[in-house]
Chains A and B, each alone.
Chain A
Amino acid sequence: MNQPIRWFTFAAPSRFYALVNALNPWLWAIALLLAIAALYIGFLVAPTDATQGDSYRIIFIHVPAAWMSMVLYLAMAFWAAIGWMFNARMASMLARALAPTGALFTFLALWTGSFWGKPTWGTWWVWDARLTSELILLFLYLGFIALVSSIDDMVRGDKAGAVLALVGVINIPIIYFSVRWWNTLHQGATISMTAAPKMAQTMLLAMLLMTFAFWAYAFAVVFTRAQALALEREHDAEWVRALRTKGKELQ
């Protein structure tokens, strides 16, 4: 029997709600276990760096956070575009739910980078190309959040957010290269982050484990936020009413 794949099964908020309820305990468990494993390897097993001492160990949070910040922006733009093109309610809600988590990871990357910069570079901040473009990414996230939350009409907010996110995606490479050229022209930052020595196997392992932990965390939090958005938007729908009566019976 060749059953066609049903791509849109979970585009219905009610089914999405049930799916998240089933998935979330697992996601949280994976996030916790992987994070504990990554921290254990990163702080207790991985060797001390020859030049940077123990201060480098923040890399196990810093680099995964920076990766997540970029991936989540792409995911946000993708779901916003899908929601706009196909009028898919759940996709727009997912885009809205992704934005705060993306902004959080961007902030985390900047914050940990700053903590790392103080002992190794001797300063909290340099106008290095990567730092600057990460800061601009944070501005893009904040702009998206500010725009969608200040439009009262839900549908208009979703669509306007999609336009902004897509324009942002086109601009990210332009911004990144312009900042890089600006940096080389100014010759401001003499310290470069790219001169990282070849990494030991254990360090790479800890970083990858933390990345997967962040992935699981991001999925869990974003799904929960999307659930809340779905409940709020569909508060009159049949499935939400059914949930409400079920909740009352349990009391």
Chain B
Amino acid sequence: MSSAFSAVYARDLRLALRRRVEALLPVVFFIVAVSLFPLGVGPEPQTLRQIAAGVVWVSALLASMLSVTSLYTGDYADGSLEQMVLSGHSGFEIAAAKAAAHWSITGAPLVLAAPLIGLLLDMSASALGTLVISLLLGTPILSLLGGLGAALTLGLRSAGVLLILLILPLAIPTLIFGAGAVGAVDAGQSAAGHFSLLGALLILTALTAPLATSFALHIALE
């Protein structure tokens, strides 16, 4: 791993540790959003079990998108983003490090909180395990795509809503295979196919999204 990647990554983690409450907000949003569903849909365990995987996945998706808006804004406002891009290190590395840091700060806590949330929705143990693995493979994709959206909407007035409008259609395959893995296990099938597809999506996104993000950063800073 190159020095630029680890430097940006470590810096973002350190910044997040200095503002712990802020870093925890996405997980809190995630938990609150999921617990609204039983109140809206009704408390019948049968219904909840059926919609659980989808609810958890959609809430995780929204939590990632809401938190990724601020991924570049701070650095953009104080000029350090410009310095990073001008430093001569590849934009690919910087974008990848930023997305990795976002995943470590928001994605990983979502994965850790998911089993607890699943219990609230009466999910079975095997479904919970599948849910965690699918989120583990899927949330990095969301961070990578979100980073692209954040770079495209950098400095715009309505960046938050715009980012969600841009990125949600692109995140649909991740949602389908992520929630589909749990559905397959519930139906007595193997989730291996879904995991393979999620893994393939992760590899493809990891190879292409940072590149597009670095283009978008250059465009925004021109």
Instruction: Say whether A139 contacts B165, CB under 8 Å.
Output: yes
Closest 4 CB pairs of A and B: A178-B173, A139-B169, A182-B176, A159-B219
B side interface size, CB within 8 A: 28
Instruction: Say whether A175 contacts B173, CB under 8 Å.
Output: yes
Q: How far is the CB of A76 from chain B (nearest CB, A)?
A: 15
A33: Cβ under 8 A from any B Cβ = no
- Looking across the interface, which residue of chain A has its beta carbon closest to that of B152? A160
Instruction: Say whether A163 contacts B216, CB under 8 Å.
Output: yes
Interface stretch of the complex, out of B19-27, B38-46, B76-84, B155-163: B155-163
- In residues 120-158 of chain A, which contact B (Cβ within 8 Å)? 136, 139-140, 142-143, 146-147, 150-151, 155-156
B147: Cβ under 8 A from any A Cβ = no
Instruction: Say whether A178 contacts B162, CB under 8 Å.
Output: no
Q: Taking A150-B157, A156-B222, A163-B216 as contacts, is the C-beta distance between A185 and B180 under 8 angstroms? A: yes
* Whole-angstrom CA separation of A142 from B165 in the bound complex: 8
Q: Taking A178-B176, A185-B180 as contacts, is the C-beta distance between A168 and B170 under 8 angstroms? A: yes
Residues of A within 8 A of B157 (CB): 150
* Whole-angstrom CA separation of A179 from B174 in the bound complex: 11
Instruction: Say whether A160 contacts B173, CB under 8 Å.
Output: no
* Whole-angstrom CA separation of A186 from B180 in the bound complex: 9
B: residues with CB less than 8 A from A are 148, 152-153, 156-158, 162, 165-166, 168-170, 172-173, 176-177, 180, 183-184, 197, 201, 208, 212, 215-216, 219-220, 222
Q: Taking A160-B219, A178-B173, A182-B176 as contacts, is the C-beta distance between A167 and B165 under 8 angstroms? A: no
**Looking at the complex, which one of A147, A181, A186 makes contact with B166 (CB distance below 8 Å)?**
A147
Instruction: Say whether B172 contacts A156, CB under 8 Å.
Output: no
Q: Taking A143-B166, A147-B162, A164-B166 as contacts, is the C-beta distance between A178 and B222 under 8 angstroms? A: no
A174: Cβ under 8 A from any B Cβ = yes
* Whole-angstrom CA separation of A73 from B65 in the bound complex: 25
Instruction: Say whether A181 contacts B165, CB under 8 Å.
Output: no
Residues of B within 8 A of A151 (CB): 156
Q: How far is the CB of B9 from chain A (nearest CB, A)?
A: 24
Instruction: Say whether B173 contacts A174, CB under 8 Å.
Output: yes
- Looking across the interface, which residue of chain A has its beta carbon closest to that of B183? A185
Q: Taking A147-B153, A185-B183 as contacts, is the C-beta distance between A160 and B220 under 8 angstroms? A: yes
Residues of B within 8 A of A150 (CB): 153, 156-158, 162
* Whole-angstrom CA separation of A142 from B212 in the bound complex: 20
* Whole-angstrom CA separation of A175 from B176 in the bound complex: 9
User: Could you show 9 A-B contacts with beta carbons less than 8 Å apart?
Assistant: A139-B169, A146-B162, A150-B156, A156-B220, A164-B152, A175-B172, A181-B176, A181-B180, A182-B176
Instruction: Say whether B219 contacts A156, CB under 8 Å.
Output: yes
Residues of B within 8 A of A186 (CB): 183
- Looking across the interface, which residue of chain B has its beta carbon closest to that of A159? B219
* Whole-angstrom CA separation of A170 from B148 in the bound complex: 14
Q: How far is the CB of A69 from chain B (nearest CB, A)?
A: 14
Residues of B within 8 A of A139 (CB): 165, 168-169
* Whole-angstrom CA separation of A228 from B131 in the bound complex: 52
- In residues 146-203 of chain A, which contact B (Cβ within 8 Å)? 146-147, 150-151, 155-156, 159-160, 163-164, 166-168, 170-171, 174-175, 178-179, 181-182, 185-186
Q: How far is the CB of A131 from chain B (nearest CB, A)?
A: 14
Instruction: Say whether B208 contacts A170, CB under 8 Å.
Output: yes
Residues of B within 8 A of A174 (CB): 173, 201
* Whole-angstrom CA separation of A160 from B166 in the bound complex: 12
* Whole-angstrom CA separation of A170 from B173 in the bound complex: 13
- Looking across the interface, which residue of chain B has its beta carbon closest to that of A142? B165
